[in-house]
Amino acid sequence: MLNLKSLAGAIVATAMSFAPALAQNVTVVTPYLAQPGTQMFVEGFKAEADGMGWNANIVDTAGDVAAVISRIEDAVTQNVDAIVINVDPEQIAAGLEVAREAGIPVIGMDSGVSPLLQANVTSNGYAMAAETSVYVANRISGKGRVVMFVFDPFPPVQIRGVIADAVFGNFPDIEVIDRITPDVQDGGIADSRAKMEAILAANPEPGSISAVWAAWDQPGLGALQAIEAAGREGEGIVIVGIDANPQARDAIAAGGNFEASVAQDFVGIGKATAGVVSRAIKGEEIREDVIYVPTVLITKANVGE
């Protein structure tokens, strides 16, 4: 046990020796550090935090949401200068209330809006949907028949559909022939494919479908499979998705019907979060509840970057 204590001491001392004296202490708590998106948030945040000389402590609770509350309580006890979370604020309200009582600012990194947060830094779902729906409208020269894949029960995806409705509605010659909510139990690809096969069967004339607008990548990928399986990939049907996941990027790079998607700037969200933390530490009043980081339209031209 004595050896163990000195080992613990050595490790702790090493960990602490990197912390500059009187640096700002910022604790980042997330249950999701194993996920690629979260790793990129943290990478961006760390880069900025190191630049500002902060002592940033990244705490991963390995999926345990209750432990996020506990670690926030510990950070409050430690009297850190700010706390950053990457988890649904509603589930950890108990911890956020403790931080509020202690007057410690908490900033959300793609977490959700809550009155207990100073601000949430994320991507603009409205803007992402605008990017892809305008891309479709321009590609088909403002004229044609469009299939939409939406998912209104999930608020972050629902807002994407609202924007696409507005954009397509603003073109008198664009007709939305179907607005489909796929079954997402299987991840969304298989059922979207089945739904698209039915639509293709109902619209057998070549050129009768001009585009597929999907509120996220999976339905677009399902539609692509259906179109290719029906041998109708030569009709120039334009498919777009949102999120630019690896499978969608492959499809875009292949140069087929799946032409575009929108990528969130995960590293940028991490960096912008550090910016908000810096403002909060200085005592600045942050009026925006949500701070958006620009997204990037991914097409064949930039998919390799």
List of residues contacting other proteins (CB under 8 A) = 1-2, 4-5, 7-9, 11-12, 15-16, 19, 25, 27, 55, 57-67, 69-71, 73-75, 77-79, 88, 90-94, 97, 185
Q: What's the rounded Cα separation, in Å, for the pair 109 and 274?
A: 9
CB neighbour list of residue 276: distance below 8 Å, 6 or more residues apart:
107, 118, 119, 121, 286, 291
Nearer to other proteins, 101 or 205 (CB): 101
CB of 275 to other proteins, least distance (A): 22
Q: What's the rounded Cα separation, in Å, for the pair 117 and 96?
A: 8
Nearer to other proteins, 107 or 244 (CB): 107
CB of 294 to other proteins, least distance (A): 29
CB of 86 to other proteins, least distance (A): 14
Nearer to other proteins, 23 or 286 (CB): 23
CB of 270 to other proteins, least distance (A): 17
Bridge partners of 108, per DSSP, are 85, 120
Nearer to other proteins, 134 or 184 (CB): 184
CB of 148 to other proteins, least distance (A): 24
Nearer to other proteins, 59 or 269 (CB): 59
CB of 93 to other proteins, least distance (A): 6
Nearer to other proteins, 92 or 260 (CB): 92
Q: What's the rounded Cα separation, in Å, for the pair 258 and 227?
A: 10
Centre a 10 Å sphere on the Cβ of residue 276 and count the other Cβ atoms it contains: 23
Q: What is the DSSP string of 48-78?
A: HHHHTT-EEEEEE-TT-HHHHHHHHHHHHHT
CB of 63 to other proteins, least distance (A): 7
Nearer to other proteins, 2 or 304 (CB): 2
